[in-house]
Structure 1
């Protein structure tokens, strides 16, 4: 079943609990969303609070995908640039689809919904995101139209002796946008 998306949903206890449960489930399934397993929703809560703070300050916006029962099944955080020379692009952070719904097209749905939401923001010409190397995420994002525009080898230390590349991906929103790495 397709997901139903909402940009800037009202934040209440149900949303909070849904996002925290999703974040823990994705992490514990090996997802690259800022933690290494095992985690509980309580372990993730401080990062959720940081996201909430950024949302309350107008720097970050939340996109949520709900399943047919109304449960949180996917999220992405859109972070606006505050630097006056970089306001023409946004960051996409903490892109998550519940492990039980992965490989069924919901990741593509989430990225399409994020693109649609960002296209509605005044003056935004591109979406950037980073992903952890070694998991095949670059291929997935590339299949959704993103291009690799940067890579820092070994920048992410998952564990002692397990360093991964930090990969930057870009999705220009204008068909006439410049090539990789050049946003005017």
Structure 2
């Protein structure tokens, strides 16, 4: 399936609804994007609105992927680091690819579009993200050029007896 990636799209009601639906679909398929299944788009909406507010305030950017029908099938948010000594890198959050596209190259293309969008921000030299241990995300990000630079054992609690590492990944933009 062909996916077109667009940095900094206009925020429309269709885009908001599309991201909410994608976020719920990814979460319900077991994706490590901040929710545990089952989750409905209405539960995701407050988190999305926080991201959109950061965009409106100039603190975040969005890369969105759409299929040939215009349906939102991939996203990643890039957030400026507000710490005065760390403004040379961006956080990457809420990286999502629709479950029907996983394993078909859309994720790697999304991460390439994220890096390209970051390169357009003056002074940015690197990207940082975190991922959940045991989710399969670390090998994916490594295949995209990121390297593991830190790990907090057991920092993420999925259930009373299920703790996962919080893994920090880094990409030099070069």
Same fold (TM over 0.5): yes
Q: What is the 5 A alignment of 1:19-168?
A: 19-168=19-168
Q: Which blocks of at least 5 consecutive residues in structure 2 are unaligned?
A: none
What is the rounded CA distance, in whole Å, between the counterparts of 2:164 and 2:29 in structure 1? Answer: 18
Aligned to 2:30, what secondary structure does the other structure show?
coil
What is the rounded CA distance, in whole Å, between the counterparts of 2:115 and 2:24 in structure 1? Answer: 25
Write out per-residue CA displacement over residues 95-120 of structure 1, whole angstroms, 9 at most, x where no aligned residue: 00000111100000000000111111
Q: Which blocks of at least 5 consecutive residues in structure 1 are unaligned?
A: 175-184
Aligned to 1:91, what secondary structure does the other structure show?
strand
What is the rounded CA distance, in whole Å, between the counterparts of 1:24 and 1:136 in structure 2? Answer: 19
What is the rounded CA distance, in whole Å, between the counterparts of 1:8 and 1:136 in structure 2? Answer: 28
Write out per-residue CA displacement over residues 153-176 of structure 1, whole angstroms, 9 at most, x where no aligned residue: 0000111111100000000011xx
Aligned to 1:158, what secondary structure does the other structure show?
strand
Aligned to 1:48, what secondary structure does the other structure show?
helix
Q: Report the counterpart of residue 5 of structure 1 in structure 2.
A: 5
Displaced runs of 4 or more, over 3 A: none
- Alignment coverage as a number of residue pairs: 174
Aligned to 2:34, what secondary structure does the other structure show?
coil
Aligned to 2:24, what secondary structure does the other structure show?
helix
What is the rounded CA distance, in whole Å, between the counterparts of 2:164 and 2:33 in structure 1? Answer: 13
Q: With the length of structure 1 as denominator, give the TM-score of the two structures.
A: 0.93
Q: What is the 5 A alignment of 1:162-177?
A: 162-174=162-174
- How far the C-alpha of 1:2 sits from its partner, in A, is 2.7
- How far the C-alpha of 1:57 sits from its partner, in A, is 1.1
Aligned to 2:17, what secondary structure does the other structure show?
helix
Q: What's the RMSD between the two structures over aligned residues?
A: 0.7
What is the rounded CA distance, in whole Å, between the counterparts of 1:57 and 1:134 in structure 2? Answer: 34
What is the rounded CA distance, in whole Å, between the counterparts of 2:155 and 2:60 in structure 1? Answer: 24
